[in-house]
Chain A
Amino acid sequence: MARNSEGSRTVSLYIHIPFCRSRCSYCVFNTYVGLEHLITRYVAALCNEITLLGKYSQHPIVHTVYFGGGTPSVLSPPQVARILRSIADSFSLSDEAEISLEANPSGVDVLYFRALRQIGVNRLSLGAQSADVRTLQLFNRDHTWRDVVQAVRSARQAGFRDVSLDLIYGAPEQSLEAWARTLDETLLLAPDHLSLYSLGIEPGSAMNVWIGRGSLPAPDVDLAADMYEYASGRLVQAGFEQYEISNWSLPGYTCRHNIQYWRNLPYLGVGAGAYGFTGALRYSIVASPAEYIRRLQSVETAPEGLSPAVNQDSIEYVDRDQLRAETMMLGLRLLQEGVSRSRFADRFGGTVEAYYEREIETLKQAGLIHVMEDRIVLTAKARLIGNRVFMCFV
């Protein structure tokens, strides 16, 4: 287990809930419609997996927990509670831990959120996606903007102080004006955190098929760039800080779980299709929920600290060179914090320049990075073309 800069053994925990009531047209995540009958056994398997991992890794401190999906809000509060109890029992769950849960705006109410709040969930991330009716329909979302408004209200009533919304821009036939309206509507809801994702057309998604068939135009990347720039300006105006390429927050509301990824620190992934990083190796868990449940039935050991449900083919040992490269590639996504010089030196025993002299010089010359005394960050113009920077290090 890697030690982070605070010198203590702290990890993050990602819990994947691969169930949805309907599938969104852009989605290629590991999620399934119509497997709700497995949920009870799935939760039991999750608890078993968490217990095994905690036992083997000698109860490290968990400082963030993230329920992602799929749709984690298909879980009932008692199911969430069971999972959190296993974490508390097998790990050292920090009192200040950030516990996030992704929720769908439909099918949730103040009672549900209140129950979650009571069992310790302290951050909600709502999949709002768009205030535009046509875009929501195109995405095959099962909710309206009114549902989003209601969900945010319910979350506040239930006592959630940290509410995040996900939005997607750059959809086919989405205009800049429609995007501006979505942002306005969103800001009216006074969220604490926003994740803005540029629509990617992925092989395997319904949208990819439609575009391939010619029944839907491909997204306009230049327009998506305009939307991104517009959002950056608009959100700064509204008091948000852009702490990562796709993430904005009010001061003090950054997502610590996200930051764990970007700092290239360990996170354990549990649940079907989850990805994890122990600090020494990266892995994923088998994708099929049924297979996942089967693998975790009546198992009592986690050989080598890996889940019995790990996908053996996915295991990738990360050597020092790769760890360093990934630290650059991920760290530069953090627009304010960037790659911290002191953390980098502590971790790798040398300055960034000692390892990447030529790359740093070239990128500096090209005006793509700022090299500061305590950190290295992307310049404003590099934000939209980050790959050009990241690829220098891989």
Chain B
Amino acid sequence: MEEKNIRNFCIIAHIDHGKSTLADRLLQLTGTISDRDMQEQILDDMELERERGVTIKASAVRMMYDAEDGRQYEINLIDTPGHVDFSYEVSRALLACEGAVLVVDASQGIEAQTLANLYMALEHDLEIIPVVNKIDLPAARPEEVAQELEDLLGVPAEDVIPVSAKTGDNVKAVLEAVVRQVPPPGGDPDAPTRALIFDSHYDSYKGVIAYVRVVDGVLSQKDTLKLMATGAQVDPIEIGVFSPGMLTTGILRAGDVGYVATGLKTVHECRVGDTLTTVRNAAAEPLPGYQQVKPMVFAGLYPVDNDDYDALRDALEKLQLNDASLVFQPETSQALNFGFRVGFLGLFHMEIVQERLEREYDLDILATAPSVEYEVVLRSGETITIDSPAELPDESVIEEIREPWMKIQVFTPQDFIGPIMELVTKKRGVYETMEYLDASRVMLTYRIPLAELIVDFYDRLKSISRGYASLDYQFDGYEPGDLVKLEVLVNQQPVDALALIVHREQAYHKGQKLVSKLKRLIPRQLFAVPIQAAVGKRVISRANVKALRKDVLAKCYGGDVTRKRKLLEKQKKGKKRLKMIGNVEVPQEAFMAVLRLDED
């Protein structure tokens, strides 16, 4: 297809504003997928995605569309994740597009991520097509939302396309707008080949499948290809497009979006952000690379069963093939033995990784409480960075501890300003500004330590605002803080995996909460188990888990040995999920207890 008949675009939206449903309708409307084969959220092919209704992986699909001007267009839709943790994935997808459909819920209006994603799209010079979705809802107020968009974008409100992705109403207008407004790719088909890798997934037969946008030249299965950053050479196993399944075409031309099955076994050789060219006629310069994304949240992941260590490493490596933002390195804990320190983009990302390890790789894993990366200035003048409380040196050698701060934007109806202010203050946040979006909604800007943000902030924000408030955040530099290590001793032994870095003023309160929480979570053992919280040498809180006295099945119900055995098997299985710390069995929840210290 000639470049002038190609359109590459993505859909950006705040979570739950109907991005995936709109994508489904576009696929149906273009006949890319038959009504019969349609399943909800076709692009979200991970079980987890469909369950949570959230797009995690970017996905690309080619549609052929017969437009009203009588011509056929190749329209490539690049689906992007909707959660703030994944804004880096969005940024990569944006680089492969010339246009973006901005979807806003007709009843919710503009939310924090609507804005964040929009700014990102504008940074990449994308043509924005504003759409108001869910006009079928009784609470829909499409005119008002269109007005909000006009104020925001400067596009006339009447140009905002009202649709219902659910019913399919007016969805065709979106395709027409894409054809008319999004510019064609505009690369050079005769120049040396350059294709941008914007995502990848791992296939056990075909190796790393690189998702590519061809900018210049041609990608052909006959050519030996080269990855410009890593220098790796590849004889592609297969080249094709997503339609929406993988469809071999053998060739991709300038402007096309598709895939290259590289046969590569590791992501290290096929990095997202790299440029593919041909060995025969190599391009001189790679395309501008993507921004490297730094993980913000770190946690130890340990196999519950020590024998699963290798399996966990393999699984993390596999996940890394699909998830360039995931970083990990081996870590040893006195309490938990061998595991990995894993870096995540955020708490949601961490949850997703954890769930995938458990579901897709059938691993029982144990996660320690998430931590941020601290800069520690030592008396010696040296500065070290640590991402685990266990690494914090003794107080006596520390000059200063610096922690990462974030700038956050909270969008909320004004009724919730009070409680939100209270929450932020409790989390050591600092108020910056408040702007009215309209008569009843405001944007609050605060600065807050990341360590506070990653501990149940989002959940609590949602709960105190009855789900109305939305959140976006950006890194805002390191700042010194009066921080101390809160240690937890179980049966007199300090447990490294339970240690926390907290603000000195919160140490007493958190220590008490943590101890009483652990007392509830640690099951009774064959002996009494003291639990203590300490700062330095000083114990600030203690409690005792009483010894277990009785655990025996009484009667054999008229000889029902099967039931008896099954009860024991179940009990044994439950015990297997416990982790031995010294001679104390500790359930996995204990290591996450710190996440919910503020609950009552």
Taking Cβ atoms with an 8 Å cutoff, the residues of A that contact B are 14, 16, 29, 68, 197-198, 200, 221-222, 224-225, 228, 245-246, 261, 264, 267, 269, 273-277, 282, 284, 314, 316, 322, 325-326, 329-330, 366, 383-388, 390-392, 394
Tell whether, in the assembled complex, residue A387 and residue B558 are in contact, meaning their CB atoms are under 8 Å apart. no
Q: Mark B51-62, 1 if CB is under 8 A from A, else 0.
A: 000000000000
Tell whether, in the assembled complex, residue B561 and residue A277 are in contact, meaning their CB atoms are under 8 Å apart. yes
**Chain B residue at minimum C-beta to C-beta distance from A269:** B559
Contacts A245-B554, A282-B561, A284-B560 supplied; 13 other A-B pairs, CB < 8 Å: A198-B552, A198-B554, A228-B550, A273-B558, A275-B558, A276-B559, A316-B562, A384-B549, A385-B526, A385-B549, A387-B568, A390-B568, A391-B575
Tell whether, in the assembled complex, residue A269 and residue B551 are in contact, meaning their CB atoms are under 8 Å apart. no
CB contacts (< 8 Å) of A388 on chain B: these are: 526, 551
Q: In whole angstroms, how far apart are the Cα atoms of A393 and B539 in the complex?
A: 41
> B69 → chain A, closest Cβ, in Å?
66
Q: Is B555 an interface residue (CB 8 A)?
A: yes
**Chain A residue at minimum C-beta to C-beta distance from B573:** A391
Among A224, A273, A322, A390, find the residue whose CB has the most chain B CB atoms closer than 10 A: A390
CB contacts (< 8 Å) of B558 on chain A: these are: 14, 16, 29, 68, 269, 273-275
Q: In whole angstroms, how far apart are the Cα atoms of A225 and B555 in the complex?
A: 16
Q: Is B569 an interface residue (CB 8 A)?
A: yes
Q: Mark B558-584, 1 if CB is under 8 A from A, else 0.
A: 111110110011011001000000000
Q: In whole angstroms, how far apart are the Cα atoms of A391 and B574 in the complex?
A: 11
Tell whether, in the assembled complex, residue B565 and residue A325 are in contact, meaning their CB atoms are under 8 Å apart. yes
CB contacts (< 8 Å) of B557 on chain A: these are: 29, 275
Tell whether, in the assembled complex, residue B553 and residue A387 are in contact, meaning their CB atoms are under 8 Å apart. yes
CB contacts (< 8 Å) of A273 on chain B: these are: 558
Q: Which of A197, A267, A276, A329 interacts with B565 by CB under 8 Å?
A: A329
CB contacts (< 8 Å) of A14 on chain B: these are: 558-559
Among B550, B555, B562, B575, find the residue whose CB has the most chain A CB atoms closer than 10 A: B550
Tell whether, in the assembled complex, residue A386 and residue B560 are in contact, meaning their CB atoms are under 8 Å apart. no
Tell whether, in the assembled complex, residue B550 and residue A222 are in contact, meaning their CB atoms are under 8 Å apart. yes
CB contacts (< 8 Å) of B550 on chain A: these are: 198, 221-222, 224-225, 228, 384-385
Q: In whole angstroms, how far apart are the Cα atoms of A264 and B549 in the complex?
A: 27
CB contacts (< 8 Å) of B551 on chain A: these are: 384-388
Q: In whole angstroms, how far apart are the Cα atoms of A194 and B526 in the complex?
A: 28
CB contacts (< 8 Å) of A224 on chain B: these are: 550
Q: Is B548 an interface residue (CB 8 A)?
A: yes
Q: In whole angstroms, how far apart are the Cα atoms of A246 and B569 in the complex?
A: 21
CB contacts (< 8 Å) of B554 on chain A: these are: 197-198, 200, 245-246
Q: In whole angstroms, how far apart are the Cα atoms of A325 and B526 in the complex?
A: 23
> B339 → chain A, closest Cβ, in Å?
24
> A324 → chain B, closest Cβ, in Å?
12
B80-122 with Cβ < 8 A to chain A: none
Q: In whole angstroms, how far apart are the Cα atoms of A276 and B557 in the complex?
A: 11
**Chain A residue at minimum C-beta to C-beta distance from B555:** A197
Q: In whole angstroms, how far apart are the Cα atoms of A388 and B551 in the complex?
A: 7
Pairs across A and B, CB under 8 Å, 10 listed:
A68-B558, A222-B549, A224-B550, A246-B554, A275-B559, A276-B559, A277-B561, A282-B562, A326-B565, A390-B553
Tell whether, in the assembled complex, residue A329 and residue B568 are in contact, meaning their CB atoms are under 8 Å apart. yes
Tell whether, in the assembled complex, residue A385 and residue B552 are in contact, meaning their CB atoms are under 8 Å apart. yes
Q: In whole angstroms, how far apart are the Cα atoms of A90 and B558 in the complex?
A: 23
Q: Is B284 an interface residue (CB 8 A)?
A: no
Tell whether, in the assembled complex, residue A386 and residue B559 are in contact, meaning their CB atoms are under 8 Å apart. no
CB contacts (< 8 Å) of B569 on chain A: these are: 391, 394
Tell whether, in the assembled complex, residue A329 and residue B564 are in contact, meaning their CB atoms are under 8 Å apart. yes
Q: Mark B6-40, 1 if CB is under 8 A from A, else 0.
A: 00000000000000000000000000000000000
Q: Which of A221, A383, A387 interacts with B571 by CB under 8 Å?
A: A387
Q: In whole angstroms, how far apart are the Cα atoms of A224 and B549 in the complex?
A: 9
CB contacts (< 8 Å) of B555 on chain A: these are: 197, 200, 246
Q: In whole angstroms, how far apart are the Cα atoms of A275 and B555 in the complex?
A: 14
Tell whether, in the assembled complex, residue A267 and residue B568 are in contact, meaning their CB atoms are under 8 Å apart. no
Q: In whole angstroms, how far apart are the Cα atoms of A138 and B552 in the complex?
A: 24
CB contacts (< 8 Å) of A276 on chain B: these are: 559
**Chain A residue at minimum C-beta to C-beta distance from B565:** A394
Tell whether, in the assembled complex, residue B560 and residue A275 are in contact, meaning their CB atoms are under 8 Å apart. yes
Tell whether, in the assembled complex, residue A330 and residue B553 are in contact, meaning their CB atoms are under 8 Å apart. no
Q: Is B439 an interface residue (CB 8 A)?
A: no
CB contacts (< 8 Å) of B526 on chain A: these are: 366, 385, 388
> B261 → chain A, closest Cβ, in Å?
45
**Chain B residue at minimum C-beta to C-beta distance from A228:** B550
Tell whether, in the assembled complex, residue A261 and residue B552 are in contact, meaning their CB atoms are under 8 Å apart. no
Q: Is B556 an interface residue (CB 8 A)?
A: yes
Tell whether, in the assembled complex, residue B568 and residue A383 are in contact, meaning their CB atoms are under 8 Å apart. no
Q: In whole angstroms, how far apart are the Cα atoms of A322 and B569 in the complex?
A: 12
CB contacts (< 8 Å) of A264 on chain B: these are: 561
B483-519 with Cβ < 8 A to chain A: none
> B390 → chain A, closest Cβ, in Å?
30
CB contacts (< 8 Å) of B552 on chain A: these are: 198, 245, 383-387
Among B552, B564, B575, find the residue whose CB has the most chain A CB atoms closer than 10 A: B552
CB contacts (< 8 Å) of A197 on chain B: these are: 554-555
> A381 → chain B, closest Cβ, in Å?
9
Tell whether, in the assembled complex, residue A261 and residue B571 are in contact, meaning their CB atoms are under 8 Å apart. no
**Chain A residue at minimum C-beta to C-beta distance from B574:** A391
Q: In whole angstroms, how far apart are the Cα atoms of A330 and B563 in the complex?
A: 13
CB contacts (< 8 Å) of A245 on chain B: these are: 552, 554
Among B548, B556, B568, find the residue whose CB has the most chain A CB atoms closer than 10 A: B568
> A184 → chain B, closest Cβ, in Å?
22
Tell whether, in the assembled complex, residue B549 and residue A391 are in contact, meaning their CB atoms are under 8 Å apart. no
CB contacts (< 8 Å) of A282 on chain B: these are: 561-562
**Chain B residue at minimum C-beta to C-beta distance from A322:** B565
CB contacts (< 8 Å) of A68 on chain B: these are: 558
> A372 → chain B, closest Cβ, in Å?
21
> B386 → chain A, closest Cβ, in Å?
38
Tell whether, in the assembled complex, residue B561 and residue A275 are in contact, meaning their CB atoms are under 8 Å apart. yes
Q: A197-B554, A384-B549 are in contact. Are A261 and B561 (CB under 8 A)?
A: yes
**Chain A residue at minimum C-beta to C-beta distance from B556:** A261
Q: In whole angstroms, how far apart are the Cα atoms of A388 and B525 in the complex?
A: 11
Tell whether, in the assembled complex, residue A261 and residue B559 are in contact, meaning their CB atoms are under 8 Å apart. yes
Tell whether, in the assembled complex, residue A386 and residue B553 are in contact, meaning their CB atoms are under 8 Å apart. yes
> A197 → chain B, closest Cβ, in Å?
5
Q: Would you list the 3 A-B pairs with minimal beta carbon distance, nearest first?
A: A225-B549, A386-B552, A225-B550
Q: In whole angstroms, how far apart are the Cα atoms of A294 and B19 in the complex?
A: 60
Q: In whole angstroms, how far apart are the Cα atoms of A277 and B556 in the complex?
A: 13
> B587 → chain A, closest Cβ, in Å?
16
CB contacts (< 8 Å) of A29 on chain B: these are: 557-558
CB contacts (< 8 Å) of A267 on chain B: these are: 559
Q: In whole angstroms, how far apart are the Cα atoms of A385 and B558 in the complex?
A: 22
Q: In whole angstroms, how far apart are the Cα atoms of A386 and B553 in the complex?
A: 8
> B249 → chain A, closest Cβ, in Å?
53
CB contacts (< 8 Å) of A386 on chain B: these are: 551-553
CB contacts (< 8 Å) of A383 on chain B: these are: 552
Q: In whole angstroms, how far apart are the Cα atoms of A225 and B551 in the complex?
A: 9
Q: In whole angstroms, how far apart are the Cα atoms of A198 and B553 in the complex?
A: 9
CB contacts (< 8 Å) of A326 on chain B: these are: 561, 565
CB contacts (< 8 Å) of B549 on chain A: these are: 221-222, 225, 384-385
Tell whether, in the assembled complex, residue A385 and residue B548 are in contact, meaning their CB atoms are under 8 Å apart. yes
Q: In whole angstroms, how far apart are the Cα atoms of A366 and B526 in the complex?
A: 10
CB contacts (< 8 Å) of B559 on chain A: these are: 14, 261, 267, 269, 274-277
CB contacts (< 8 Å) of A269 on chain B: these are: 558-559
CB contacts (< 8 Å) of B564 on chain A: these are: 329
CB contacts (< 8 Å) of B546 on chain A: these are: 222
Q: In whole angstroms, how far apart are the Cα atoms of A329 and B557 in the complex?
A: 15
Q: In whole angstroms, how far apart are the Cα atoms of A375 and B569 in the complex?
A: 24
Among B556, B561, B572, find the residue whose CB has the most chain A CB atoms closer than 10 A: B561
> B559 → chain A, closest Cβ, in Å?
4
> B418 → chain A, closest Cβ, in Å?
36
CB contacts (< 8 Å) of A261 on chain B: these are: 556, 559, 561
CB contacts (< 8 Å) of A228 on chain B: these are: 550
CB contacts (< 8 Å) of B568 on chain A: these are: 329, 387, 390-391, 394
Q: In whole angstroms, how far apart are the Cα atoms of A392 and B572 in the complex?
A: 8
